[in-house]
Amino acid sequence: MSEKPSGLDRVKLRAELMAEFETVFQQVVDAVDDAEYGHIIRQSEEPVRDAMDRFRKKVFESALQAKVDAAEASFPPSQEQGDGKTQTEQG
């Protein structure tokens, strides 16, 4: 059975996504605030849904990339020679 790779860096990921969250938050608030009274749901629902969909996608992609990065970091670096070939390639 293979060893589980290192977990992703949640603190780093959270920090990276906070700027994106602030942008989405502003888009949601603007969409609701800019909608005409009596038409708030109709005029804001789609822009809010689109902003949240983009954020959901960004969070998922960033989490996946962080997991890949953590897994790659858990492997030791290859032992390259000066010519760029690994020791196993040289025989």
H or E element, residue 59: helix 40-73
Confidence category of residue 81, pLDDT binned at 50, 70, 90: low
Per-residue pLDDT reduced to its tens digit, 46-77: 999 999 999 999 999 999 999 998 888 777 77
Report the DSSP beta bridge partners of residue 86.
Answer: 80
Write down the residue that tokens 């998922």 correspond to. 60
pLDDT at 91: 52
Can you tell me the distance from the alpha carbon of 7 to that of 74, in angstroms, rounded to the nearest whole number?
10
pLDDT at 9: 86
Q: Is the pLDDT of residue 1 over 50?
A: no
In 3D space, the residue among 2, 5, 6, 50 whose CA is nearest the CA of residue 30 turns out to be 50
For residue 86, which phi and psi values (nearest 5 degrees)?
-80, 165
Which amino acid is located at 73 in the chain? Answer: A
The structural domains of the chain, with segments of one domain joined by +, span 10-72
pLDDT at 5: 53
Per-residue pLDDT reduced to its tens digit, 11-51: 999 999 999 999 999 999 999 999 999 999 999 999 999 99
Q: State the pTM of this model.
A: 0.71
